[in-house]
Amino acid sequence: MKRQTRIIRTQTQKTGFREHSTPLFLTSSFTFESAEQGKALFDETEQGNLYSRFSNPTVQEFVDRVCVMEGYEDGVATATGMAAVFAGFAAYLSSGDHIVSSRALFGSAHQIITQILVKWGITYTYVEASASKQEWEAAIRPNTKMIYLETPSNPGLELVDLEMIGSLSKKHGLIFNVDNCFATPALQNPVDYGADLVVHSATKFMEGQGRVLGGILVGSREMIKPARFFCRQTGPSMSPFNAWVLTKSLETLDLRMERHCRNALKLAQALEANELVGKVNYPFLQSHPQYELATSQMRAGGGILTVELDGGFERISAFMKALQIVSLSSNLGDTRTIITNPYTTTHAKLTPEDKRSLGITEGLIRVSVGLEDVDDLIEDFTNAIEVSASVTAK
Ligand SMILES: *Cc1c(COP(=O)(O)O)cnc(C)c1O
């Protein structure tokens, strides 16, 4: 069967009720038919569900579907994307290990690396996303254990060459760990470049409608073992309810991403042509500094773009006030278009130098392009850009 058919047809085994849609197994535990079965399940001579901290059929369906989408055998689902990112570090790294990471990271991933892991003697070296192979390789030390990156990055939309990192990881025997949240498995599969682990915030495009949080870490069966142990013992588990929402969302991920990408490209082109707008950043615009790489490793440009408006916070405020349709929120990957000003919200806690090095300027606006009619979006943006320009010009 082809990919889309497998995604849709990967489903929890039917119960005696012959339900068509997947049931929600909202139960904390599972019963043993006998003392012998309880013993067998715990010593793992028999496989089966025990307790929803570490296994649940609804959660498993979500995991199985993401495995189909990302091309891996196994995974662990977590309550949030950050729990999966953290498990991807904590389960594999020990005191004395070193991580080479792209500097262009989601704010909380940056905080984990620079504030939490260092407390346990795990050190790091940041490399610019667009650095050359030589520069990436120069950051690798004898105690380097993992290369971690996000591509495209949030919110700078910087790309890392997956093929290049894959070959470096292989050469140096490193764990290659990719946050694939922005591209989603619909647009890019790090497994094709030798990634050992792929992590997702399922909260974003996977969920797609802004209802629940979730995360997942996938890899080969062998690779996932330490993460399964870590999650089983420490308990960052995904709720079965969230898994039930998320697994249904996955059936339409490819379809939704097609429209997110088409709308985003059209909006990016319209904004780029608007002379009242500063820089527009979108991986599939020819003006993107890594356009060649984007078109070679992504099937489309994704649902996120950024624009810069001059005039400081006053302009941002006037622009946001003038929008009629677009929502103001820090989430992304929703059917509804959302904007945020990373400088004062999602990335506010970064130092001014860190903000600068990631291109997070005061006037930067991150746009998560939704599934509305793109003509309405273009009109809403164009109008708010004009209104806010005249307000700040006074
Ligand atoms: C949102 C996000 C996360 C964190 O996910 P949560 O579900 O909010 O915990 C991690 N990485 C990227 C790229 C994100 O956008």
> Among residues 280, 267, 43, which one has the least CA distance to residue 157?
280
> What was the pLDDT predicted at 356?
87
CATH of the domain spanning 12-250: 3.40.640.10
pTM of the model: 0.96
Q: Is the CB of 217 under 6 A from ligand 1?
A: no
Measured distance CA(85)–CA(109) in Å, rounded: 7
Measured distance CA(386)–CA(322) in Å, rounded: 9
Question: What's the fold here for domain 254-393?
Answer: Aspartate Aminotransferase, domain 1 (3.90.1150)
The 8-class DSSP code of residue 117 comes to G
Boundaries of every domain in the chain:
12-250, 254-393
Strands of the chain, DSSP E: 74-78, 98-102, 123-127, 144-150, 175-179, 197-201, 215-219, 280-281, 304-308, 327-328, 338-340, 364-368
> What was the pLDDT predicted at 52?
96
> What was the pLDDT predicted at 394?
61
153 CA closest ligand 1 atom index: 13
Q: Is the CB of 246 under 6 A from ligand 1?
A: no
Q: What is the pLDDT of residues 322-363, one digit of tens each?
A: 999 999 999 999 999 999 999 999 888 888 888 888 889 999
Same-fold call for 12-250 versus 254-393: no
Q: Is the CB of 182 under 6 A from ligand 1?
A: yes
Residue ranges for the chain with pLDDT beneath 50: none
Q: How close is the Cα of 83 to the center of ligand 1, in Å?
A: 9
Q: Which residue out of 78, 204, 334 has the highest number of ligand 1 atoms within 8 Å of its CB and is therefore the one to mutate?
A: 204
Q: At what angle do helices 253-272 and 374-393 cross, to 10 degrees?
A: 40
Sign of CA dihedral 383, 386, 387, 389: positive
CB of 206 within 8 A of CB of 84? no
Q: How close is the Cα of 154 to the center of ligand 1, in Å?
A: 9
Measured distance CA(126)–CA(100) in Å, rounded: 6
